[in-house]
Structures are given as structure tokens and as C-alpha cells.
């Protein structure tokens, strides 16, 4: 019997994502001037206030208040009427030095013997469902909000948009797990007031989302995915009727509260650890990227149509506790999931230092991942420039989303005889 599956996304202006972006901007600034920085930054945003906290061990000095203000302004919170803007909000920092008890388990004389920065389990997932090997409902939810942000910045076709927004897509699947149609789309977007004419406001927003935004999203898709859009889709546009008060003034935001949006939209699994604000010695982040890298390369190589990879660690211990693989019965090789997992452990070195090196995770590459998902993004190289308060400048070509590269497909095919 067909079934429905739903995923959601939130925009860069959502308060939790504002917090994530500030935390990752702080991390990038520390890494730019000291790649060996140990960082675990948390951010709280609320009406007129940003609070920075966490632990840092670094040889660089970062003007954390200015970094936070720059991020808030870039997102689009630039007006006093939002009750939260980069130029006038208060910024309080309580960041202190990383615990020596943690540091002694991570840093070693031989870098290759670096221990895991924490215990826990991390998951990576990939599916043939989309070109970027991501679940379709989440991929569409992200695309809707990325296009909505473009419309806001263009300020041409739609001129009333504010930064905060959310989306949600429900897809009907067949018994053999193939997408059949889109059942429902939810979009809630913050907006300017409409002269107290709520009915006129809601009608225009609905029309603009359905007739301007959705066609722009469809145009990005392959023909077979465009066919999933139909006249029977249930649209819920700003279902509360009004969304003028939003952002950190509408709800407080905290780093790490959108971990399912950050990963696979509820498909596969999530170990529970957040990403933003953490340097790569924290395996919550680096090992989650590494398992995504493994899963994506395995699916792209044809090992299976859908794969979940789990790895687990003990704090301060070099080798992982174990690697688990589930192919959900979709394996294309004559091996059990346990045998596939053993082969994976032979191909991919999962020691923390090896992960950092393989994926180049000591570079300032994280701000771009802090909104619209850490997984499924396009790997690319960008020139990034950072300015230190002492006048130093860091400018370098940096690889982004290295865990999305299909650079192990040939090795995987050779190992599995494909």
C-alpha cells in the first residue's frame, strides 16, 4: 500500500539557524588564523540580544562580537522594526578556555594518534532517489527555501519578504519505495505588514508562493521529478494567517536545535550530536561527515541503492568502537551487510586524524554549511578572506563540502568487484 513521508527545512533567517551560522562563523575565524584551534561555540539569540558561550583553545584572537554582527546583517536582520538587527542588538560573550581534561585525551605527540573529542555514534545516509543522493522530501524542502531567499534578496517579484521562513514537503511513495507524487507543501514565510488587511495579505502571499516560487523550484529539477508536481497538491501557505513577528524576536534561537534539517530529514538515522560551532576533533561533526562520504560513494558505486552507515567512538580513543552498515535489503553485491561493513572499514580509515586529513576539515569551511543542510550540497572551491583585529589577513582558496565528493567510487568498485 502506498505511504506518505514528510521532511521539513528552515531558512537562514530562522532563529535556530541564525545561532548556527554565528557559531560556525566564529569557528571559521578561529581556524583561519590557527588551524589547530579547538572550538565548541554555542549561541543564543532573542529579542535584541545575542549571547555567545562555549570553550575555545586557540592561538588566534577573534573579535567575536563583530563576527556575530556581520552574520546577523548578512542574513538580512538590518532593520530596527525586526526587534533584532546586527547593528544595534546587544552581544554578550562568555566564551572561555577548553577544559584541559578534554584536551589531554585529544591532542597527542603523534597527530595520527589523536583521540576522539567525545563519545557517541554518528550516522551517514545516501539514496539513489535524487541526483545528490539525498531523500527527495528534504531536498525539495531545502530548494524551496533557498529559492525563497533568492527572491527576497532580488526584491523584484516579491518585495515584502522578511528573513524567517519554514517549508515542509510530503511525498507519496509506492510499495517499492519509489516517489509517486507530492501530496502536500507547507510554506510559512515572515513578511511585512499589509496595512491591516489580513485577507488581502494572505491571498497575495499564497498566489506568489504557488505561481512564482514553486515554478522556479520546478525549473531546477529533472523532468521525472517535475512530474511529481500536480494540480492536486495541498498547499498550506502561512497557515496561521499572519507572520509579521518572526526571527529571534518571535522565538529564541539556539545552536544545534535543527539537527534533522541539517542531515537527512528523518530518513536514515541521526546520532543526536549537533554540528555547528564544533571543530573537527569533535567526532559528532567530523565522523557524521565521514559516514555521509562513505554512504554516498557506496551508493554511487552501485554497492546498494540505499545505505545507512554508523560509526561510534569513545572519548580520547583513537580507533572507532565499530562500523555498522544497513542496505535495507537493497544491496547489489553478493554480501551480507556485516561483510559490507568489514569491507568499508578496510577502505576508509576512520581514525579522527585520518578523517580530518581526508576531508580537509581543518580549513575555515563551515559557515556555508550552517543553513540549508550540511549534506547533499555541491562540493566547490571558494576564495575566502578573514580579517583579524590586529590587522592580519587570511585569504585562501578553500574546498567546501568535501564530504560530498565522489572521489572514492573507483576504490569502492575495485574493492567490491563492480
Provide the annotated active-site residues.
14, 16-17, 42, 55, 166, 243, 251-252, 257-258, 278, 282, 284
What string of DSSP letters covers 280-335?
A: TTSHHHHHHHHHHHHHHHHHHHTSBSEEEEEEEE-BT-SS-SEEEEE-TT-B-SSS
Question: CA separation (Å) from 416 to 124, 163, 303, 343, 410?
Answer: 20, 47, 8, 8, 10
Is position 166 annotated in a ligand binding site?
Answer: yes
Is position 257 annotated in a ligand binding site?
Answer: yes
236: β partners:
186
Is position 164 annotated in a ligand binding site?
Answer: yes
Is position 234 annotated in a ligand binding site?
Answer: no
Is position 112 annotated in a ligand binding site?
Answer: no
Pair type for strands 393-400 and 380-387: antiparallel
Residue 346: left if φ>0, alpha if ψ -120 to 50, beta else—which one?
A: alpha
Query: Cβ neighbours of residue 126 under 8 Å, at least 6 residues apart?
Result: 133, 134, 292, 295, 296, 298, 299, 300, 306, 307
* C-beta separation of 332 from 302 below 8 A: yes
Is position 269 annotated in a ligand binding site?
Answer: no
Is position 16 annotated in a ligand binding site?
Answer: yes
Is position 258 annotated in a ligand binding site?
Answer: yes
Residue 155: left if φ>0, alpha if ψ -120 to 50, beta else—which one?
A: left
Q: Can you read off the three cell numbers belonging to residue 210?
A: 504557488
Is position 405 annotated in a ligand binding site?
Answer: no
Is position 413 annotated in a ligand binding site?
Answer: no
Is position 81 annotated in a ligand binding site?
Answer: no
Is position 28 annotated in a ligand binding site?
Answer: no
Rounded Cα gap, residues 8 and 378, in angstroms: 20
Is position 411 annotated in a ligand binding site?
Answer: no
For cell 554512504, name the residue.
Answer: 295
Is position 55 annotated in a ligand binding site?
Answer: yes
Q: Can you read off the three cell numbers belonging to residue 13?
A: 533567517
Annotation: binding site for ATP? 14, 164-166, 242-243, 251, 257-258, 274, 278
Annotation: binding site for Mg(2+)? 16
Annotation: binding site for L-methionine? 55, 98, 251, 282
Annotation: binding site? 14, 16, 42, 55, 98, 164-166, 242-243, 251, 257-258, 274, 278, 282
Annotation: binding site for K(+)? 42
Amino acid at each position: 500500500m502506498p505511504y506518505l513521508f514528510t521532511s521539513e527545512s528552515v531558512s537562514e533567517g530562522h532563529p535556530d539557524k541564525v545561532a548556527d551560522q554565528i557559531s560556525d562563523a566564529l569557528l571559521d575565524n578561529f581556524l583561519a588564523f590557527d588551524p589547530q584551534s579547538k572550538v565548541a561555540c554555542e549561541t543564543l539569540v532573542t529579542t535584541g540580544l545575542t549571547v555567545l558561550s562555549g570553550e575555545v583553545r586557540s592561538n588566534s584572537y577573534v573579535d567575536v562580537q563583530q563576527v556575530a554582527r556581520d552574520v546577523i546583517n548578512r542574513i538580512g536582520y538590518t532593520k530596527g522594526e525586526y526587534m533584532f538587527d546586527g547593528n544595534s542588538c546587544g552581544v554578550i560573550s562568555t566564551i572561555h578556555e577548553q577544559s584541559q581534561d578534554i584536551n589531554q585525551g585529544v591532542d597527542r605527540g603523534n597527530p595520527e594518534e589523536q583521540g576522539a573529542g567525545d563519545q557517541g555514534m554518528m550516522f551517514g545516509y545516501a539514496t539513489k532517489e535524487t541526483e545528490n543522493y539525498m531523500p527527495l522530501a528534504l531536498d525539495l524542502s531545502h530548494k524551496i527555501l533557498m529559492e525563497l531567499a533568492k527572491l527576497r534578496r532580488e526584491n523584484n517579484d516579491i518585495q515584502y519578504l522578511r528573513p524567517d521562513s519554514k517549508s515542509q514537503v510530503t511525498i507519496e511513495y509506492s510499495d517499492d519505495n519509489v516517489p509517486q507524487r507530492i501530496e502536500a507543501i507547507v510554506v510559512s514565510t515572515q513578511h511585512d505588514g499589509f496595512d491591516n488587511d489580513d485577507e488581502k495579505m494572505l491571498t497575495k502571499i499564497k498566489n506568489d508562493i504557488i505561481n512564482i516560487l514553486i515554478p522556479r523550484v520546478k525549473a531546477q529539477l529533472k523532468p521525472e521529478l517535475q512530474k511529481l508536481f500536480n494540480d492536486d497538491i495541498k498547499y498550506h501557505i502561512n497557515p496561521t494567517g499572519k507572520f509579521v513577528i518572526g526571527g529571534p524576536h518571535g522565538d529564541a534561537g539556539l545552536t544545534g536545535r535543527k539537527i534533522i534539517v541539517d542531515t537527512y530529514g528523518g530518513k536514515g538515522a541521526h546520532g543526536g550530536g549537533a554540528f555547528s560551532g564544533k571543530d573537527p576533533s569533535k567526532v559528532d561533526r567530523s565522523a557524521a561527515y565521514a559516514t555521509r562520504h562513505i554512504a554516498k560513494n557506496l551508493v554511487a558505486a552501485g554497492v546498494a541503492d540505499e545505505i545507512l552507515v554508523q560509526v561510534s567512538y569513545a572519548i580520547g580513543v583513537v580507533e572507532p568502537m565499530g562500523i555498522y552498515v544497513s542496505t535495507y535489503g537493497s544491496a547489489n553485491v553478493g554480501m551480507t551487510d556485516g561483510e559490507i561493513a568489514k569491507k568499508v572499514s578496510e577502505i576508509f580509515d576512520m581514525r579522527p586524524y585520518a578523517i580530518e586529513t581526508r576531508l580537509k576539515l581543518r580549513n575555515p569551511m563551515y559557515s556555508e554549511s550552517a543553513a540549508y543542510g550540511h549534506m547533499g550540497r555541491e562540493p566547490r572551491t571558494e576564495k575566502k578572506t578573514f580579517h583579524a583585529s590586529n590587522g592580519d589577513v587570511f585569504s585562501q582558496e578553500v574546498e567546501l563540502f568535501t564530504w560530498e565528493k565522489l572521489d572514492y567510487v573507483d576504490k569502492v568498485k575495485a574493492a567490491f568487484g563492480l
